[in-house]
């Protein structure tokens, strides 16, 4: 278990991590999500005693990192795959770590096997691909057979096979009862892996929730309606107490009404429809809405994702729609 209490880190005027309090529990993958610069890496570095907090503290199974005896037996971390000595073979790299941490030598072959690097154990990591480097980093994290594992953006830059492998590994480690804490800036990635979610923005806690709850609260459904008579269709809908929201391409988003009902209304008032499709807002959009205020650098002139536009004033006069009389 990892417990953070009021964890804060300031660099001069900049507050990178702002009074974070949350607990990472065993037996599940906890996703640590935030836009670039949110403070994820700084938080993880403080968890590992690589940076000291300005205030607050973090405990690993009840102790500060510097109070742990043989810390690799308690917590293993993949921070940056590049932090490998290029001149030593993969095996020797792990051997050095094992010797420094009182880890039995036989564990080296087990972890090399587990990450699929046995065949290249005698090779130098200098020539490894990004995926192989990540695997070696994970082997190092697993070396002490720790109960707690931490991965900082582990799928960055990997091919689909490597991504799939890491996802399954994290779930497997959690199913063994370990605490698995993994950072990402991609909600879609977390939705596939994590059971619990901690979201931060500008160093502050924005959400600490189960993934199921987050999905239930944020999976907005709506119907996309496209018609060459948008003003008329809007009148029809507002007459029935439904206010559509216009998207940038002129299509409408309609919430709370079944597509079949919208189709019937359109038919009754003889409005031509070009599209009538049920939609689900993506979790990525929900995450971006949640963190929109705390993104450090925005692209200019970009509408926020999922943000639809209201029709401009004067575009439509409103009022009650008149059904079109059918000719007999
Ligand atoms: N050593 C440092 N000195 C000054 N500012 C720092 C330092 N380390 C981090 N920061 C700042 O603290 C903030 C948080 O950075 P951090 O790297 O923890 O974010 P992050 O969520 O991991 O982002 P990314 O996904 O881009 O790695 C950023 O604004 C960063 O510029």
Domain boundary among 193, 217, 241: 217
Number of domains in the chain: 2
Report which of 197, 207, 191, 196 is spatially closest to residue 282, judged by C-alpha positions.
Answer: 191
Q: Do 22 and 64 belong to one domain?
A: yes
Does residue 79 form part of some domain? yes
Nearest protein CA to atom 18 of ligand 1, as residue: 39
Sheet holding 204-210, edge to edge: 75-78, 148-152, 179-184, 28-33, 196-201, 204-210
Q: Which CATH number characterizes residue 71's domain? A: 3.40.50.300
Q: Which pLDDT value is given to residue 313?
A: 34
Residue 299: φ, ψ to 5°: -70, 145
- Is there a single domain that holds both residue 123 and residue 230? no
Give one word for 139, left, alpha or beta, with left for phi > 0 and alpha for psi -120 to 50: alpha
**Ligand 1 atom having least distance to the Cα of 43:** 18
- The answer to the question of residue 324 being in a domain is no
**One domain, residues 48 and 183:** yes
268: which 2 tokens?
Answer: 């009754």
* Cβ neighbours for 317, distance < 8 A, ≥ 6 positions apart: 231
Is residue 78 domain-shared with residue 195, that is, in the same domain?
yes
Distinct helix (H) and strand (E) counts, the chain: 10, 13
Closest atom of ligand 1 to 44 CA is 18
> Are residues 21 and 121 located together in one domain of the fold?
yes
**Same domain assignment for residues 240 and 267:** yes
In this structure, the answer to whether residues 104 and 166 fall within a common structural domain is yes
- Is 130 in a helix, a strand, or coil? helix
Q: Is the CB of residue 35 below 6 angstroms from any atom belonging to ligand 1? A: no
In a domain, 316, yes or no: no
Residue of the nearest CA to atom 23 in ligand 1?
37
Q: Which two tokens stand for residue 131?
A: 């995926």
| Within-domain flag for 116 | yes
Same domain, 112 and 172: yes
The total number of residues shown for the chain amounts to 328
Ligand 1: residue of 18, 35, 39, 202 to mutate (most ligand atoms within 8 A of CB) is 39
Mean pLDDT, consecutive 10-residue stretches, the chain (328 aa), reads: 96 95 97 91 94 96 90 88 68 91 92 91 83 89 94 86 91 96 88 93 93 81 95 96 93 94 96 94 78 62 41 41 52
For residues 237 and 244, the answer to whether their CB atoms sit within 8 Å is: yes
CATH number at residue 245: 3.30.70
ipTM score of the complex? 0.95
Is residue 114 domain-shared with residue 127, that is, in the same domain?
A: yes
Q: How far is the CA of 37 from the centre of ligand 1 (A)?
A: 5
Residues 6+ apart with CB under 8 A from 117: 90, 132, 135, 136, 139
User: What pLDDT is recorded for position 281?
Assistant: 73
The pLDDT of residue 225 is 97
* Boundaries of domain holding 165: 2-217
The rounded Å distance from CA 103 to ligand 1 centre is 33
| Last-in-domain residue among 184, 217, 250 | 217
Q: From the CB of 201, is ligand 1 less than 6 Å away?
A: no
| pLDDT at res. 134 | 87
Task: Specify burial of residue 19 (Cβ count, 10 A radius: 0-12, 13-18, 19+).
Answer: middle
Tell me if the pTM is above 0.95: no
CA of 42 to the centre of ligand 1 (A): 6
pLDDT of 307 reads 44
- Per-residue model confidence (pLDDT) at position 310: 40
| Domain end point (choices 217, 240, 260) | 217
In a domain, 305, yes or no: no
320 occurs within a structural domain: no
Q: Are 205 and 21 in contact (CB under 8 A)?
A: yes
Say if residue 117 is in the same domain as residue 236.
no
Angle between helices 130-142 and 106-114 (to 10 degrees): 140
Tell how far the Cα of 16 is from the centroid of ligand 1, in angstroms: 6
Residue 328 is predicted with a pLDDT of 42
> Based on the domain organization, do 60 and 192 belong to the same domain?
yes
Residues 153 and 248 occupy one common structural domain: no
């Amino acid at each position: 278990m990892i417990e953070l209490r009021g964890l804060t880190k300031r660099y001069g005027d900049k507050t990178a991590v702002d009074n974070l309090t949350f607990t990472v529990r065993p037996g599940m993958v906890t996703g640590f999500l935030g836009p670039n610069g949110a403070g994820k890496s700084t938080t993880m570095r403080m968890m590992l005693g690589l940076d000291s907090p300005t205030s607050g503290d973090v405990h690993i199974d009840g102790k500060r990192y510097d109070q742990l005896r043989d810390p690799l037996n308690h917590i293993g971390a993949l921070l940056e795959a590049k932090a490998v000595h290029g001149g030593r073979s993969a095996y020797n790299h792990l051997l050095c770590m094992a010797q420094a941490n009182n880890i039995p030598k036989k564990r080296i072959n087990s972890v090399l096997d587990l990450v699929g690097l046995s065949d290249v154990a005698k090779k130098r990591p200098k020539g490894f691909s990004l995926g192989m480097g990540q695997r070696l980093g994970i082997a190092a994290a697993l070396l002490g057979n720790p109960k707690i594992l931490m991965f900082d953006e582990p799928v960055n830059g990997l091919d689909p096979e490597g991504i799939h492998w890491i996802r399954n590994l994290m779930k497997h480690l959690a199913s063994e009862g370990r605490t698995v804490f993994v950072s990402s800036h991609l909600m879609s990635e977390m939705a596939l892996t994590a059971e619990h979610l901690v979201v931060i923005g500008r160093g502050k806690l924005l959400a600490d929730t189960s993934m199921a709850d987050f999905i239930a609260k944020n999976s907005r459904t709506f119907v996309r309606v496209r018609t060459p008579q948008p003003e008329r269709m809007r009148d029809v809908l507002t007459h029935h107490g439904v206010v559509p929201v216009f998207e940038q391409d002129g299509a409408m988003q309609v919430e709370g009404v079944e597509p079949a009902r919208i189709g019937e209304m359109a038919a009754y008032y003889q409005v031509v429809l070009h599209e009538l499709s049920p939609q689900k807002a993506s979790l990525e959009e929900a995450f971006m809405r949640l963190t929109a205020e705390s993104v450090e650098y925005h692209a200019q002139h970009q509408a926020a994702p999922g943000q639809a536009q209201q029709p401009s004033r004067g575009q439509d006069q409103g009022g009650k729609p008149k059904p079109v009389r059918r000719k007999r």
